[in-house]
Amino acid sequence: MRKLLALPLLAAVACGGAFKDEARDAMPSSETVSMGSPPSGTQASGNAAVYSTAGDRSQFAQLTAAVAVTFNAPTAFFLGILRHVVEDSEPTSCDQNSCTWGPGSEPLNPISYKLVVSRNADGASFDWSLSGAIKPGTTFVTFASGNARPGPQRHHGSGKFQIDFEQAALLDVWGDPSARPTGQLSVDSYSNVGPAHLQVTYLGARDTDHVGQLNNIAYDYSNDNAGGGNLDFAVHNTTSDDRFSVHSRWKIDGRGRADVAAALGTGVNVQLSECWSAAPFNVLYFSSTLTVVAPPWGGPTSGTESSCAYSPAAYSETSAP
C-alpha cells in the first residue's frame, strides 16, 4: 500500500502547521472504523443460514462474521489509501483552513491521487474528498468523501463518509472487474469514542451467491461496554425481491443469538432463531415457524431456549431499501 500511493518527495512541501496535524489526526482508519463479529473462526457466505440442530456448528455465528467482512474488506482498502496519503506524505499546499495532498503517485502507478481536507463551517470537524485520475489525464474522479470530527485520540472520533465503487471502477483501482465491489456504500454515522458504533447503507452490492444479482443492505453495529456486540442488518435482493433481516447479539466469549425474519419473493414468510455456545460455537437452540426441513429456513425445534445467552427473541426492525 505504501508503494501504491507514494507521492514524489520532491513535489511534497512541508506546510500547513497545526491544521495539517489536526486534519491527519481526524481522518478515519480501517483499524478504528470496522465492524466486529462473534469470533466464529471460519467464515461463511451470505447464504449460509441453513437448518441446524443442537450440537452442530452454528451457521448464524459464521453468517454474522461474513457480513462484517462484506463491510470491512472493501472499506479497509480505501481507508488504507486515505491514511497512507495523510500519514506518509506532506501536503503540497495549505492555508489556515485547508490542505491538499497531491496530485501525484509513484512513477509506475497509472493513477494520480489527490486528497483535499477542509475545515467545516462548524469549526470542529473536517470535510474531506479523495479523487484520482488516470495518467497522464488531469480529470479527477471523486470516489470517496466524508466528514470527520476528531476525538481525544488519533484516528478516533465520529463522522460519516461515502465510497462510490462505480466511480472507483473508472480508475480500475480494483483490477479484476468480476471481483471488484459494486454500488455505493454510505457510512451514515460512525463513532469510535468509547464503544464503536456504525450505521451503514450499501446499495447495489454484488450478490456473491447469485451471479448477476445485486443486494441493498442496511446495518447497524455496536459494541457494548462488556466486550460483546450487537449487529442488526437487513438485505434486499433487488432481482428476486427476497428480503431477510438478522439481529445478532454476542458476548465477549463468543456466545450469541441470531433472530432472523425472511419475506421471500415467492410469498413465503418465516421467522427463526438460533443460539450458539462459546468456542467451538455449536448450536444450543434452533426454532423456526417453518417446522418442516426446508433449507435454508425450516426445520423442527432443537435444543432448549433456556441455554441461550440472550432471551427472548428480538427480531430486527431494520429494512433495506
Say how far apart CA 268 and CA 290 lie, in whole Å. 10
d(CA 235, CA 214): 10
* Residues recorded for the chain: 321
How far is the CA of 305 from the CAs of 73, 262, 310, in angstroms?
A: 34, 21, 9
Q: How far is CA 54 from CA 139, 178, 250, in A?
A: 58, 38, 18
Phi, psi of 158 (to 5 degrees): -145, 170
DSSP assignment of 106-155, as one string? -TT-SEEEEEEEEE-TTSS-EEEEEEEEETT----EEEEEEEEEE-SSTT
Q: Which regions in the chain score pLDDT beneath 70?
A: 1-17, 31-55, 57, 68, 70-72, 173-175, 294-296
d(CA 156, CA 163): 19
Instruction: Tell me what pLDDT residue 75 has.
Output: 74
Residue 320 corresponds to which cell in the numbers above? 433495506
pLDDT of the residue at 206: 87
Closest to 307 in 3D by CA, of 278, 271, 280: 278
Question: pTM higher than 0.85 for the full model?
Answer: no
User: Which residue carries 491527519 as its cell?
Assistant: 24
Q: State pLDDT tens for residues 47-101.
A: 333 455 666 767 777 777 777 676 667 777 777 777 777 777 788 998 888 999 9
Reduced to 3 states, what is the DSSP secondary structure of residue 76? helix
- The reported pLDDT for the residue numbered 39 is 56
Q: What is the pLDDT of residue 104?
A: 83
- Closest C-alpha among 74, 80, 77, 85 to residue 185: 74
In this predicted structure, what is the pLDDT of residue 175? 65
> Which grid cell sits at 248?
445478532
